[in-house]
Amino acid sequence: MTIGVVGLGYVGLTLTAALAGKGFTVYGADVSPKVIETLAQGRSHIFEPGVEEIFRTEVGRRVHVAAELPRDTVDVAVISVSTPVDEATHRPNLANLAAAARAVAATCRPGTLVVVRSTVPVGTSRAVVLPELRAAWGDEVRLVMAPERTIQGQALRELVELPQVIGGLDEASLRLGVEFFAGLAQSIVEVSTLEAAELVKLSNNCHTDLIYSFGNEVALIAEQHGLDPLEVLRATNLDYPRPDLSKPGYVGGGCLSKDPYIMLESAGDYRPYLVGRARELNEFLPVHVAETVVRLLREARGETRGTRLAVLGWAYKGWPPTDDMRGTPIATMMPIFSAAGITVTGHDPMVTPDVIRQYGGEPVSLDKAFTDSDAILVINDHPDYRAIDVTEALGGARPALIFDSWRILDGAAVRASGIRYAGLGYLPRDEEVAA
């Protein structure tokens, strides 16, 4: 088959690479000239292991990129455009999806299989995409919903190994969808409708947001009692047969920071109890940490204005490594640090100095982060940070505080250096700091 992919963001880019790796000919389309220019040179505009290697060898052979799909060429058209939510109202904006459906209807033959890959409110494939196709093709519409469910850092593997969930407009559509994805994935899960497939994706991501939020809730309660949340969670999980509780941590990224709002949009007259509150708690966590860091720094220095805070980890997560800044905790934290008069320096192995500057930080080397700062805040758990020898990194420097969000540093070594060591839900008493 010849495949068209409309929208070459993370979802479309990784699918294009995976399909090319399986021998498909893929035509990718995107409205961004910069994206097209980068990909046409065999380079990737998004970090994902394995993607650039495929583009470097396959562009001009199995992979072709342009502003739109070639006319009457592809057998399958995959729509993978963004469906952002409004920052103020949290309502999803489906304009990109409607425009992509119109573009597919205008450039593809009637009867071409159309695959909705974007994350959408339940009912959207039928209410938004289908009318655009029917307006151009009449009854010759073949439409399926097949949600993307990969994790960043492992997308090419998971596109093959994870079951592909497919729901069709009708039986003919479903059979075409199964035939297509059988050439990519090891297993397929058929569901009865477009809407069922839409809800599968939302259920996956909202459940992830929910289980992370419970770990964060435990941590915040532990903090109130001076307890170590990691000790509590380890004891809770050890040899206990029910599902493990998650460690506390920030919950960002392009999906988990957005999809709960799309789930809420799907609820109709029902008002969900859990989804919105879990998202609210996870969005509160960076605020709580930033305010805690300011308070601890003020207690130690007497004044925060003019102090220097080194932030390690600007991408929303450290493992698997990514350069993705969507939903990054630092975006929420920076206004709080700025209001306190704190100068923020930044380091991230995956994020460029220009991006750190765009978010209001001053790029700094890892060694300077430890030796030229009044406090250090570790936000993500990149392997480079896990490998830090605290004693060697500090040298003769003595910042007042190291807030290690993921507790990946040697806390005992930090305390032995006379430095206060804290983490998510973990605020040891002052007497635990060695003289």
Query: pLDDT tens-digit profile of 118-146?
Result: 999 999 999 999 999 999 999 999 999 99
**pLDDT given for residue 397 in this prediction:** 87
The CATH homologous superfamily of the domain defined by 279-432: NAD(P)-binding Rossmann-like Domain (3.40.50.720)
Average of per-residue pLDDT across 288-307: 96
CA distance 82 to 95: 9
The distance from CA 46 to its chain's CA centroid, rounded to whole angstroms, is: 12
CA distance 40 to 23: 19
Which three-class secondary structure state does DSSP give residue 406?
coil
CA distance 185 to 179: 10
The reply to whether 279-432 shares the fold of 2-194 is: yes
Structural element, H or E, at residue 29: strand 25-29
What burial class does residue 186 get, using C-beta atoms within 10 Å of its C-beta: 0-12 exposed, 13-18 middle, 19+ buried? exposed
Q: Is residue 271 pLDDT above 70, yes or no?
A: yes
Q: Which two tokens stand for residue 291?
A: 């305010």
Terminal CA-CA length for the chain: 70
Share of the chain above pLDDT 90, in %: 97
Runs of H (alpha helix) within 225-320? 229-237, 259-265, 275-301
433 falls in which pLDDT band (50, 70, 90)?
very low
435 falls in which pLDDT band (50, 70, 90)?
very low
Structural element, H or E, at residue 20: helix 10-21
> What is the domain partition of the chain in residue ranges?
2-194, 279-432
What are 361's strand-pairing partners? none
Query: pLDDT tens-digit profile of 328-350?
Result: 999 999 999 999 999 999 999 99
- Was domain 2-194 assigned CATH 3.40.50.720? yes
Query: pLDDT tens-digit profile of 16-56?
Result: 999 999 999 999 999 999 999 999 999 999 999 999 999 99
Structural element, H or E, at residue 338: helix 329-339
CA distance 34 to 230: 44
CA distance 22 to 5: 15
**pLDDT given for residue 243 in this prediction:** 85
Average of per-residue pLDDT across 399-406: 97
Which three-class secondary structure state does DSSP give residue 22?
coil
**pLDDT given for residue 83 in this prediction:** 97
**pLDDT given for residue 428 in this prediction:** 82
C-alpha distances (whole Å) from 238 to each of 93, 231, 232, 408 are: 44, 11, 10, 20
* DSSP 8-state code for residue 323: -
Structural element, H or E, at residue 212: helix 194-224
The residue with tokens 């990784």 is 14
Q: Is residue 431 pLDDT above 90, yes or no?
A: no
Sign of CA dihedral 188, 130, 79, 201: negative
Task: State the chain's mean pLDDT as an integer.
Answer: 96
CA distance 172 to 144: 10
Which three-class secondary structure state does DSSP give residue 77?
strand
Q: Is residue 381 pLDDT above 80, yes or no?
A: yes
434 falls in which pLDDT band (50, 70, 90)?
very low
| Omega before 33 within 30 of 0, i.e. cis | no
Q: Is residue 430 pLDDT above 60, yes or no?
A: no
354, HSE (Cβ side, Cα atoms, 13 Å): 0
What are 59's strand-pairing partners? 63
Average of per-residue pLDDT across 364-368: 96
Which residues touch 430 (CB under 8 Å, ≥6 apart)?
420
Q: How many residues comprise the chain?
A: 435
Average of per-residue pLDDT across 392-401: 93
The per-type count for the chain, helices as H runs and strands as E runs, is 18, 14
61 in Cβ contact with 16 (< 8 Å):
no
Question: Model-level pTM?
Answer: 0.93
Pairing of strands 164-168, 188-191: parallel
Which residues touch 100 (CB under 8 Å, ≥6 apart)?
6, 7, 79, 81
Average of per-residue pLDDT across 395-419: 95
From the list 158, 150, 74, the residue with the least C-alpha distance to 119 is 150
Query: pLDDT tens-digit profile of 149-206?
Result: 999 999 999 999 999 999 999 999 999 999 999 999 999 999 999 999 999 999 999 9
Query: pLDDT tens-digit profile of 81-124?
Result: 999 999 999 999 999 999 999 999 999 999 999 999 999 999 99
